[in-house]
Structure 1
């Protein structure tokens, strides 16, 4: 049964009297952490109004990939990439994330004859006037008439999605003792590093906390985790009850978050911190080696702390409660309101 709401009625009205689903294209380079921002926002919109979502991947030939966005043309796309030259119709809503999407996002309004409402997540750092709405992290400090700020990044985490993922991994997770500690490890970036020695220190601290509580460990690494860090953490933590996912098979992250009593995340990723805060579980932030002042990451963690979600990891697994941080849903409502306002 579909439940009507003012937002649903506004969106339907913006599309005309015929009650047809909102057509949404989700556009990115296809990397999971990038795509999930646009896809999570699209899914949140689809929970507010009937919608059909299509995923489009944009990839540029290696020769042109690092070129400025303003110089790129569709002729530079790789074979198999979404190519706007082949589009016969355009969606009601284009939601894109990441640098690869920018040369197309900036031209969608022209290509669609103004039919398509263009949303870009993250700070595009280029041609701000070419997007109908920019859903930007508050910690980036972006402002403007077409900017909607949220804490962190849009994502796909909802209680129902976590619960749906759990049965597929129940054989591995259900027998584990509580408290279950889900650990999300990032890696090297422009702002942070995770050398082997520091990874060993973190592993020892995590091991001590889990052993003290008699709990279990559920750990995942990101694609940015250095191999040396991954190896030393796996070696030092493998004796604990639990599961260290080695990257083979289906990704168990949603099931691990569903099972978690505590979530530990390294401080290098806005995505991981925001996803963890959407669970309502205590979020403990693990320190990394800073390569420059933390700046926006410090602002993000302060925002999450102000929501009651996150605290620096102090070596213990203290319990606390807070309302899950639900910024993706808030952004979805803002998109529909902006579409309705444009008419």
Structure 2
């Protein structure tokens, strides 16, 4: 990073997101912010707002509702993410007299000029003098964490031959469909990796995969060198990334594809039915960078520069805060 994180560790940092139980959404907002804070070596205070109507209806454009815990003394750094957090981010920047460095993760849907730094994924095409765009999203993965998790799951997967392939299965979402026909195709291709490449498979379905789809894939891999997580105990997802020589991941999650590409290992993307212009731009950019290739049932070996948006964002924050101190 451009500045030692030891100087950043003394600053007070808030992470501001909305209450997921009240508004739904993704825990990914908070996870991304936590990843940036950890890259800065700061211990953040996490605050989750729950504005009532009509304030919640007017977000992100309207004013901030009174909220317990959102009061002076203001922090040195605020990392906000999620539509309901945006009015508070504006308010804190204004009421702190600009002393709080305000960072927004994801497109705030209002002018980026109202904040000190805005990060948005490149496929959003958000522009501005203080906008940072990267191919992938921030996360909490580090080499140390992957190594530790790889050691933790060694008793589960240590018997598998190499190359070991992590298989990360998402599922149907707003733009993609993971059908039973797709599961049959994917199951046959994964079985082929075992038969033709002598690979060992580490498979983790998600809640969106679907019981029928997961069962179909398990049937194709029955009796083969494959470990399939059954959903009990701690999720071995990170450990699989650490153990893997290559990674196969469905296309429906920008975060999963991006986390896979942070490892520097070959990433194969299973393209499902459906899609959207944003997802298409993201996948094409990953292919162009060389981090990923479409999965066609074969294994190859290649190298690329690992993608780490977390450190890029943390660097940008440190540079911005240093420039403010000089002013």
Q: Which residue does the alignment assign to 2:86?
A: 102
> What per-residue deviation string (whole Å, max 9, x for no partner) do you get for residues 203-226 of structure 1?
221221233222221122334333
Equivalences for 1:1-343 in 2 at 5 Å?
Answer: 7-8=3-4, 12=7, 21-29=10-18, 31-46=26-41, 51-59=42-50, 67-69=57-59, 70=61, 73-74=64-65, 83-85=67-69, 87-290=71-274, 292=275, 294-343=276-325
Does the CA contact (< 8 Å) of 1:307 and 1:325 recur in 2? no
Separation in 1, partners of 2:72, 2:122: 36
Does the CA contact (< 8 Å) of 2:15 and 2:80 recur in 1? yes
Separation in 2, partners of 1:304, 1:95: 26
Q: Which residue does the alignment assign to 1:78?
A: none
Q: Alpha-carbon deviation of 1:289?
A: 0.6
Q: Alpha-carbon deviation of 1:64?
A: 7.4
> What per-residue deviation string (whole Å, max 9, x for no partner) do you get for residues 9-45 of structure 1?
9x94xx8xxxx71222233356443322111111122
Separation in 2, partners of 1:40, 1:114: 24
Question: Matched residue of 1:148: which SS?
Answer: strand
Separation in 2, partners of 1:242, 1:165: 19
Separation in 2, partners of 1:341, 1:39: 23
In structure 2, do the counterparts of structure 1 residues 88 and 72 end up closer, same or farther at CA, with 3 Å as the change threshold? closer
> What per-residue deviation string (whole Å, max 9, x for no partner) do you get for residues 113-161 of structure 1?
4332111112222343332111111111110012011112111222112
Q: Structure 1: which 4+ aligned runs deviate by more than 6 Å?
A: 63-66
In structure 2, do the counterparts of structure 1 residues 226 and 6 end up closer, same or farther at CA, with 3 Å as the change threshold? closer
Separation in 2, partners of 1:243, 1:66: 45
Question: Matched residue of 1:57: which SS?
Answer: strand
TM-score (norm 1): 0.83
In structure 2, do the counterparts of structure 1 residues 338 and 73 end up closer, same or farther at CA, with 3 Å as the change threshold? closer
Q: Alpha-carbon deviation of 1:190?
A: 2.5
Separation in 2, partners of 1:243, 1:194: 21
Question: Matched residue of 1:52: which SS?
Answer: coil
Separation in 1, partners of 2:238, 2:146: 5
Q: Which moved more, 1:22-31 or 1:258-267?
A: 22-31
TM-score (norm 2): 0.86
Q: Alpha-carbon deviation of 1:272?
A: 1.0
For structure 1, list consecutive stretches of 5 or more residues without a partner in the other structure.
76-82
* Count of aligned pairs between the two proteins: 318
Does the CA contact (< 8 Å) of 2:194 and 2:225 recur in 1? no
Q: Alpha-carbon deviation of 1:229?
A: 2.6
